[in-house]
Structure 1
Amino acid sequence: MSVAAAHAGTTGSGTMAGCAALALWAFLAPLTRLAQPTPPLLLTALGLAAGGMFGLAAVAARGRLSALRQGPLAWTHGLAGIGGYHALYFAALGWAPAVEANLLNYAWPLLIVLFSGLIGGLRLGARRLLGVGMGAAGAALLLAGGGAAFPAEAWAGFACALAAAVVWALYSVLAARLGSVPSEAVAGFCLVSAAAAWLAHLALEPPAALEARHWTVVALMGLGPTGAAFFLWDHGMKRGDPRLLGTLAYAVPVASTLLLVAAGEGELSARMLVAAALVSGGGLLAASAGRRRG
């Protein structure tokens, strides 16, 4: 096998891992609804703790606990990305209207594509940019709904939403610069981020009594969107094509909405179908650009 073929195989498997992470993140919204009325910081702490514990068990089973011993740069990157993003995101939801804050937060897929060119030195090209633009339009159509308003008094929340998008995009793209840091280290990042979220919960949120169904949801979150997804995304960013993954990330809000509809949380609408078509078309366009130019 040639070096080019081997690289293409690595890129393909890494991109598939990133796609698996996106698929798992689509289940975060339905699981969050099932966990209500659990306070958001508490849910974040429990979800990340579950993901970290499951990850730690898998790392220990493979005899790879030494992977948790990383330098300050790796820990700064991991905690700022996983912990910092969630802190900013929940602050945005607390200080600004949820729909508008979520719309601004979903600048991160576009920023991943742009940062892949500016920081990663990867070629973008017109097809990729058009593809990510279609995905952004689809997500905006879905999230904005019948119209979005941006009241001036919610500026702090909007700033946090944009900051969260920048933090996650930088975390994702810079992961490639830390390719020597094994993905197993994410278990430690999740556990420490969970501890920080727990302390924030104790300081800012009222106590909450959890039922058996809440613990079931927490376990499912830890196995999927707040656990395995982080490991898969880390592998995808380090071994896959971040330009394509950034474009495909716009499928997450669409898939989440369709899952909520399937769970009886809403009705299918023409707006959802148009949004899905735009996101799908943008993803296919970006994928075709990858096949033609690498």
Structure 2
Amino acid sequence: MTSVSLLGPGDEPIVLGVTTPEVPVRVPTTRRYLMCPPEHFTVEYAINPWMDPTRPISTELALAQWTELKETYERLGHRVEVIEPVPGLPDMVFSANSGTVIEGRVLGARFRAEQRAAEADHFRRWFLANGYSTVVMPERTNEAEGDFTWTGKYLLAGTGFRTDPLAHSEAQEVLGVPVISLQLVDPRYYHLDVALFVLADDLIAYYPDAFSPGSRQALRRLFPDAVIANAEDAACLGLNAVSDGRHVILPVEATNLGEQVARRGFEPVYVDISELRKSGGGPKCCTMELRD
């Protein structure tokens, strides 16, 4: 902040004006999301570092937190579609992992873990039943929006733990968008969507230590003004966030990240999703965006 002043009679300063750094006006856009209620949520196995089958789990609490997330989207003016949960698929709540939709074209998922493999076909059938004519199921392992993040210009594509790097070229062919590969190196951040999210066109937030040196350099070149998350933001899955261009849905613990995005003109909206985090998920994991 700076001020401009002159000396008045008696040498008293006269303040002519105060200038502050310009904060962009952020405008939300209405989104459409696909979600799945966690009616069968539990932690029966461990396929990521967050999962511990010996910890107690409350399906009732998980459902209450998921409902609050859904109602938050609806309160902000977004439309939420719901797919029916299937018994025996406790991670189906994490709908982001089961499809990538850009301009009405759908690239389905192929899970690395056998415990989740059946989810992909349930989502495929939902797409076909809801008017999507171009639905391609992948040949290579890809965990959809878990590792594919659309910026509006590029498809950022993570690899290292789940998605096959050859799935990146497959995504480019199916979706017809340019793909930029990013290497993940920390097993706690096994999907791209727990290490990075898009705030608005040409602006992202990410945790550098989740990426290889070359990927960090690429992100700096592409997004020099990015919001940089710290270790505490990452550890509460703060980067598993959802932005509509103004409102940023964050876990309640991600206060530092919330303060940072607020300084950029966004409005942080905090939700408690702690029960679902016991399976390694946050707001974004529960939210597939339908970009028609």
Question: Could you say whether these structures have the same fold, taking a TM-score greater than 0.5 normalized by the shorter chain as the test?
Answer: no
Between Structure 1 and Structure 2, which shows a larger proportion of strand residues? 2
Q: Larger % of helix: which?
A: 1
TM-score normalised to structure 1 length: 0.29
TM-score computed with the length of structure 2 as normaliser: 0.29
